[in-house]
Structures are given as structure tokens and as C-alpha cells.
Amino acid sequence: MEDNKISVIIPVYDLEAYVERAVRSVLQQTYTNIEVLIVDDGSTDNTKDIIEKVNDKRLKYVYKENGGVSSARNLGIDLSTGNYIMFVDSDDYIDKDFIEVVHNYATKTECDIVRCGYRNVSLDGKVINEVKYPLGNIIFKKDSMDLIMKNIFFGYGGGIFLKKDIIKNVRFDTSIKFAEDIKFICECFANGNSYGYVDYVGYNYLYNDNSMTKKSNVEVRVKECIDNVNVFKSLSKYCNDTYFMKTFIFKRLNMKLKYLIKTTNINYKEFLEIMCYIYEKTDIKMIQVNLNSLKNLEFKDRFLTKLLIQKKYRFYFIINKIYYKIKR
């Protein structure tokens, strides 16, 4: 049965090399009651010409001035007419039965939001790895937000399958560039009753070390740290376990700072200035953490997160520098 119409939103900006693959992967689905909304966020390449050559009445192309991926997704939501909404990034693609499998699971379980596993795929099409939720098929009810947060169940925005009714007035936050999908998903879930995971891998994520979000740019990496801290601070209101959330914020910051140190050539003086700036922009100094709450972390993360909380930045910086130097 294909009673439900599925709106697939594909935001695109200057990705002429990949967008046709993304679009055709959606149009070739075994589930056919779909509309495909291509929201062009001000592309300057041949994206429009490529899309116009794709002949399918289910396809709608919309051009807008550049405003970022969140604004493009929001426009797609506003224009959508389906009962369910999902997102596919323009350099990614989905398996032929993706919508059929995820939709069937959503309707069978009456879940408002459904996720599945995904593959990281290299530029030459080779599968790097598969990422799956370890517990298999599982459903979280509305009072299980703590469990969802603890299991980092939300992942990223690509492939998320949502009932249109729960989105209501929720939109992607255009003021942030990182973790905006996590914030959106959790805010939608606050309007729903159940969140499901289907034990299936059908989304293919293009892993590109040269992409914008992977560049060794200090400003970008610092912005990523700030956005992640502020997003998870804002999501604390949905989580009853305040000790966990406070710990998790520092754990998340540790993860992003490690990547900053790994991918840039900053020295300790610059790192100290960055930490002062992050504290100023996030007010993280006001978060009081019980160090006993770190016991569930792996040893390395527990040790480094503890150093962050105790503001032992020199030691933290030196350990990471040595570690990544050895790893090369």
C-alpha cells in the first residue's frame, strides 16, 4: 500500500558532480508515491541544467539565494505536501528499497521518527564502513529522551524519516552550522510520541576528507565546538538526567577539540585563547560536573574530559599533540 505520500528534500549547493546520483537514487525507489524537492541554495555551477534534464513529474526544482543548508531544508519543509518527510544530502544517495523499508517500519510501529543504519562511502564508491545501532530494531517512547541522548541515537540529518504532523513549527536553526540536525530531530521528537530504529542499512554517506566540514580551518573548527556546546545545552531541558547531560557536553567538547588539535597547527598559546573564546561564547564555566559521572566513559575520553573540566589545558594540549604525532 502506498497511501502515504513521502516528501524527499534534497538541499544542494555547487555539487554538480553528485546531485544527479542523489536525485536518481530517490526517483528509482520501489516505493513510488513520492515528491522530490530539490532546493538549490544559490548554486553557481551546472546544478540547474543537470536537474532539468531529469524528466520526472514527481520532481520539483526550486532556486533560492544562498543562505546555508538549514535555510534550504526549511524551505523544503514549507513546500512539502507529503505525510512524511525525509532528507537526502545532495552528495549522498539511498538504496532502492530505502523508503519502502523505512516507511513500512514507521507505519507498522506507529513511530513518528525512524532512523536506520548508514554506510560511509569513499569518493570512488568503496564502502569504508557501516554504522548500525547495536540493539537492532528498537522503539523509544517519548519519556525515553534520556536513553536517546545517552545512545547518541540521532546521528546526522541525512536519512531521517519523520511524520509531517510532528514537525509543526520546528525548523532548522539557521544561526548554527554544526549539530543543527541533532537539535532539529530532538525538537521534533518533543512533539511526537515514539522514535524507532529499523535494523537496516540503506543510506550512503559520501565521506570526503576534502569537504568543507573536514577542512583544517581553525575558525571552522572553533565554530563547531561552540555550536555543539550550545546545542546540547539547549537540549538539556528534554533530559531528566542532568548529571549525564552536563558530562555529555564536556565529552562532546573534548571530541571536537581533539579534532581541532589533530587537523590544525595551532600552538598552546593559540589553544588557550581558543578555550577562553569558547568559554565566553558558551558560558560553559557555569556547568558544574560531578567527576564520578565520567566513570562510564572509556579511559582515554574519561581522562581527557576530566582535564577539560579541571581546566588543565596545557596538559590536555600536550597529550593530544603527542598522541597525534605518534599516530602519524
Chain segment 93-125, per-residue pLDDT in tens: 999 999 999 999 999 999 998 988 889 888 888
- DSSP track, 212-225: GGGS--HHHHHHHH
- For residue 157, pLDDT over 80 is answered with no
* First vs last C-alpha separation in the chain: 53
250: left (phi over 0), alpha (psi -120 to 50) or beta: alpha
Give the CA count within 13 Å in the CB-facing half-sphere of 235: 30
Dihedral angle at the C-alpha atoms of 129, 141, 135, 227, nearest 10 degrees? 30
Alpha-carbon distance of 64 to 9, in angstroms, equals 14
Per DSSP, which regions of the chain are E strands? 6-12, 34-40, 59-63, 84-87, 93-94, 113-121, 127-131, 138-141, 161-163, 194-206
Strands 84-87 and 6-12: parallel
Structural contact between residues 121 and 206, judged by C-beta atoms closer than 8 angstroms: yes
pLDDT of residue 97: 96
Q: Say whether pLDDT at 74 is over 90.
A: yes
* Closest-CA residue to 52 (of 61, 41, 43, 44): 61
In terms of C-beta density within 10 A (0-12 exposed, 13-18 middle, 19 or more buried), how is residue 166 classed?
A: middle
Q: Would you state the pLDDT for residue 181?
A: 86
Fold that domain 6-206 belongs to in CATH: Spore Coat Polysaccharide Biosynthesis Protein SpsA; Chain A (3.90.550)
Give the containing element (helix H, strand E) for 157: none
Q: How far apart are CA 138 and CA 133, in angstroms?
A: 9
* Grid cell listed for 58: 514527481
Can you give the pLDDT at residue 150?
A: 58
**pLDDT score of 214:** 42
Tell me the domain boundaries of the chain: 6-206, 215-327
* Tens digits of residue pLDDT in 32-69: 999 999 999 999 999 999 999 998 999 999 999 999 99
Q: Tell me which of 82 and 232 has the higher pLDDT.
A: 82
Q: Is the pLDDT of residue 128 over 50?
A: yes
